[in-house]
Amino acid sequence: MLTSITLPLLRPVLLIALLFRTLDALRAFDLMFVLTGGGPAGTTETLTVYAYRSLFQTLQLGFGSAIGVVIFTLVMVVAAAYLGVLRRAGATA
Amino acid sequence: MRARARVWDVAVLLLLAVWATPFFWQVRTSFTPDSELLATNRALPASPTTIHYRAVAERSVMPRALGNSLAVATLTTLVALALGLPAAYAIARLPVPGKALLLLVIVASTAFPQIATVSPLYLLMRALGLRDTWTALVMANTSFALPLLIWLLAGFIREVPIEVEEAAFLDGAGRLGVLGRIVVPLVAPGVASAALLTFLASWNEFLFAYTFTATEASRTVPVALALFPGVFEVPWGDIAAASILASLPPIIIVVGLQRWLVHGLVAGALKE
């Protein structure tokens, strides 16, 4: 019952949840920034921390903005992919 | 069958307890004197103390930061509701041209990464003279809360039977009257859960608060917590006490709104 009825019916909801969680994880900033600041030696540095450090600590404004645009593009690609899947799932459900 | 349900309940509670272990550990640390902090082989401190709470209350920016956070989160929630409710109603009920595309753009903009906008927003706030003010944080948080809020509320409003609204129109109510006196009371659980999500997002928001604030005049709780470690020492006990204080208001609000939320969070958003 669970695999053949409940889960298929829940597919749109699960996809939305997956979408939000993935995007939140892609955009995560505060934990890495506060706990390690990207260290030691960049091993925990994510794109968001890298962008922030470039923008506000080393003041490479153009470079930091470019990283920001890359993050934006990545997020939009993931969102578009999910929304495409969601639309097909919504059509069949 | 009932015994099996009981076993499941216990299993779920155990899992939740494991999940909450870091929180319990933080509570334990907040009551542990500095001299015992490294003795992690004990479940409870040998001589519990409230010294960290007193230090946080008397000699830190936490009381001020809690006030700032409460004000910013409350104002953000109110402004977002004031703007979001009419927008959600319009999307749910009025013949807005290009509605499907508009809704798609709204959903897509919930995915917008803050880091991509933080530097232009910083320049904007500086130019407007809003650095280190509540207004800057309320504006930034509201703009990031609105898409999700509108999307959720539009889902709830769509579930209200249109006949109820038609009856109100027949009795001479205007659009705003119907929205305020018929629709909002009917979707109150949805409004409560959307408001709660907005409040919590604003309460936990770190990047904008860290960038736009400069002094304790507007520093919020997450920023104050992040700035606790000193140059030569990390006051773990004080940090633990401060973070317990920081997590109390959201917990109180969630428990207080629980009756409303049980309806709100389950139904809504995705119903066709």
* Test the B interface: residue of A29, A70, A87 with most B CBs within 10 Å: A29
The C-alpha atoms of residue A23 and residue A78 are separated, in whole angstroms, by 8
A28 touching B (Cβ < 8 Å) = no
Residue A51 with chain B: CB contacts under 8 Å: 115-116
Q: In this predicted structure, what is the pLDDT of residue B82?
A: 93
Q: In this predicted structure, what is the pLDDT of residue B271?
A: 45
B91 with B99: CB under 8 angstroms?
yes
CA distance A19 to chain B (A): 9
Q: How large a percentage of chain B has pLDDT more than 70?
A: 94
> Pick from B111, B119, B206: which is nearest to A61 by CB?
B119
* Test the A interface: residue of B115, B123, B126, B200 with most A CBs within 10 Å: B115
| Whether complex ipTM tops 0.85 | no
CA distance B56 to chain A (A): 19
Place of tokens 């930034």: B140
Q: If you count them, how many residues does chain B have?
A: 272
- Tens-digit pLDDT profile for residues A56-93: 888 888 898 899 889 888 888 888 887 787 777 655 44
Tell whether the model's pLDDT for residue A30 goes beyond 50: yes
For the ranges A34-43, B60-69, B138-147, which has the lowest average pLDDT?
A34-43
CA R_g for chain B: 23
The C-alpha atoms of residue B253 and residue B255 are separated, in whole angstroms, by 5
- Tens-digit pLDDT profile for residues B146-191: 998 998 898 888 888 888 888 888 888 888 888 888 888 888 888 8
Please give the span between the terminal C-alpha atoms of chain A, in angstroms, as a whole number.
16
A13 touching B (Cβ < 8 Å) = yes
